[in-house]
Amino acid sequence: METRNKKAITILGIIIAATLAFIWIHSCMGQEESAEESGFVYEVLEPVLEVVVGKGNVTEPFIRKLAHFTEFFGLGLELMLFMKLVLISAHYVIRFINAWVFGTMCALIDETIQIFSGRGPMIQDVWLDSAGCLCGVLVMSLIVMIIDKKRSGKNGSEK
């Protein structure tokens, strides 16, 4: 494996670990602390999101669900890129499935942590997290395919 790839894999591994730490630390928060943080984020994002979803449609539960989706969307992006770097010779479908399954397992762990933090774990949050991860994996898959196609086109035209 090239030194460059080792560095990229290490850096991406650290980013993934930091993302999971961020997600899981927030799951360790108690109900009051979590509600306080959600309230702050709500106040900041409400005016911006109302432009997109309409006035009065932004609620704290909406913000919480959006946070679930967004965190795992980012994780999905990272995991798919990681799989591309680590599983170089694997078919893209295998990389895709590995990234999504790993992200879904992280979602299950996330909700399990909430059992012990006194918050209400919800199966719908696992589904939402998994959907966010799936979207991130899909987006990164498309980006990787486009880049690979452009690279192979350049290499083919140079011959």
Each residue's pLDDT tens digit, 98-146: 999 999 999 999 999 988 887 878 899 999 999 999 999 999 999 999 9
- The pTM (predicted TM-score) of the whole model is 0.86
By the 10 Å C-beta count (0-12 exposed, 13-18 middle, 19+ buried), 133 is classed as buried
Each residue's pLDDT tens digit, 47-80: 888 888 888 888 888 888 998 999 999 999 999 9
Tracing tokens 């770097």 back to the chain, one arrives at 85
